[in-house]
Structure 1
């Protein structure tokens, strides 16, 4: 279905070029959404909230059925013609929400059309394809960011500042637990839990958010050992349970356990033990308990999608991701989660799975 013509819009007004050759934009950025599956819901809600900064010019899907269903929920123009949407000169950026197996091709098409790109996690099915995508983005000179929204939660930001400021002292141990649940019906959907569509199981598809946050907070320097398996609760190609022994940045020990077989699903948890105190991040709630007797709590903003309803979470963090992406475009700096940052988390997934296979 070809794109229809749109009404004329205000012309772009810029100041002189700034860092990395970008210009400061003084009007709303034109954005397209590419892919209208479940991931489009929090992004679209966020773009409604950010209507003073971004104008959604097109919402794109190859599926006419998805286009029709999406149009009933959101007021944005829709089309099945990605090439025509990219040819729209009012479009500055693309938010790519297609399945992981298509991220390389879809994102590269947008980059080659001169658009900045924000892509959903994970980067791609394999690290090699992710590396190619990041290389394509660097070559294009456009802003390229990845949706790993757990870093943007208020509790995550407070924990990061506590660690950076040395409030917990020297780190002595840490752990990450993601005890989620997905019913068999989830994996019965075509491609779910397969290497061909998802590139992996619980570690790459569900736990990648928490693992990326954990790595950004404490660093992971070594995978000591791992166990990887598919439990009897699911019939699927990839793993639904992973545990591992790790070493973090300063050589302290850490543990990991993640699964989609923990009915009915529980919030993910990061625990950090320091010489001056202890941090407990459960879902979006942070508790800091210091040895001097003081404590601090940052309350959660909502659920985390840990159960059968995979979209049961607020879109606040997605809104923060998109706002950061827009900031990077307007001000000419790197986004918080660059392609290189996302690659480091995907390489850690590879290392854990490799250690599990070796074991």
Structure 2
């Protein structure tokens, strides 16, 4: 089997699980370049991995031996870097999220669509064994008709995380917990049960963090089949706990906690799928196995060789980012209304319980 030439662009923390995966896949890929504009990052990376490094990103992209590029740079550069790769005729696998804003994300997906190249997005939670089994149970009607579903992401990030330049800002990250941390779980949740609408949302920053964007989001959702859904995501839940998706069906109940699945069926059967490791829910953000990242890359390679779309295509990732934007927009409106209410005399002034939903 002919090996596919690959270049890695961006050698920050996100490059770690990808690089370990590429080492595992040495029988299928040839890493031609690992590139970063920072010589310090390139040097540090070279101490960990055997791939050839460079600070000349243009040369790495233009190398005729490179057929595919992993774009692992900050989200604010995804559009320009990916467009450059696509225009050079390269297939592209880009880290989440697609881009800082929905408008730039849409431009990126359109560029990929018209390029004729394969374009995938790293939303690896879909590739965990437990996630795959849960999807199978839903599509094969083992759980019956979905009646309700719940998504919870009770993660933790210390203030030192947000003290790093650009962390938690619109300029660098494009958003807070929903776009930066919870996007993986939200994407998996949406792909499993669908989301047709956002009924109400609350978006805010807790007193545990000093940051520009939100560290807490709650929402009431309408699922794809019209059933109710709820969402809660935060990076203020010390010390951080695995994300959880729970689904009530007419034939059983499924609970996906981190990478572990438990299904209880009304006929008395029980089924479990054990987790493969931690999920990076606490202060050690890269504390998770790279198995799912490897599966993403395998699917991307297969998409190139089989001339098909990757399982997480640009359109799929765009649908999840549109949902993020809808939730945030709904929550911002709700928070503004709550702030206006808080300025008016009310029961809280006498020590009585504040009205539900009032901003702090």
Q: TM-score under structure 2 normalisation?
A: 0.92
Any unmatched runs of 5+ in structure 2? 335-360
Is 1:74 aligned to 2:74, yes or no?
no
Distance 1:137 1:314 in 2: 29
Distance 2:145 2:190 in 1: 17
Residue 358 of structure 1 deviates from its aligned partner by 1.4
Q: Secondary structure of the equivalent of 1:288?
A: strand
Size of the alignment, in residue pairs?
334
Residue 197 of structure 1 deviates from its aligned partner by 0.3
Distance 1:315 1:92 in 2: 23
Q: Secondary structure of the equivalent of 2:151?
A: strand
Number of the residue aligned with 2:349: none
Number of the residue aligned with 2:344: none
1:44 to 13, 19, 28: 19
1:150 to 107, 118, 125: 125
Q: Where do 1:167-182 residues align within 5 Å?
A: 167-182=142-157
Q: Secondary structure of the equivalent of 1:176?
A: strand
Distance 2:113 2:243 in 1: 33
Is 1:261 aligned to 2:236, yes or no?
yes
Residue 138 of structure 1 deviates from its aligned partner by 1.1
Q: Deviations over 1:220-274 (max 9, x none)?
A: 0010000000000000000000000001011110100000000000000000001
Q: Where do 1:114-125 residues align within 5 Å?
A: 114-125=89-100
Q: Secondary structure of the equivalent of 2:47?
A: helix
Is 1:113 aligned to 2:88, yes or no?
yes
Distance 1:82 1:110 in 2: 10
CA RMSD of the aligned region, Å? 0.5
Residue 53 of structure 1 deviates from its aligned partner by 0.3
Q: Deviations over 1:293-345 (max 9, x none)?
A: 10100000000000000000000000000000000001101100000000000
Any unmatched runs of 5+ in structure 1? 1-25
Is 1:319 aligned to 2:294, yes or no?
yes
Distance 2:143 2:61 in 1: 48
Is 1:278 aligned to 2:240, yes or no?
no
Is 1:101 aligned to 2:76, yes or no?
yes
Distance 1:329 1:80 in 2: 27
Runs of at least 4 residues off by over 4 Å: none
Is 1:192 aligned to 2:170, yes or no?
no
1:251 to 226, 233, 236: 226
Distance 2:208 2:62 in 1: 47
Residue 140 of structure 1 deviates from its aligned partner by 1.0
Distance 2:208 2:325 in 1: 24
Residue 85 of structure 1 deviates from its aligned partner by 1.0
1:34 to 2, 9, 22: 9
Residue 283 of structure 1 deviates from its aligned partner by 0.1
Q: Secondary structure of the equivalent of 1:286?
A: strand
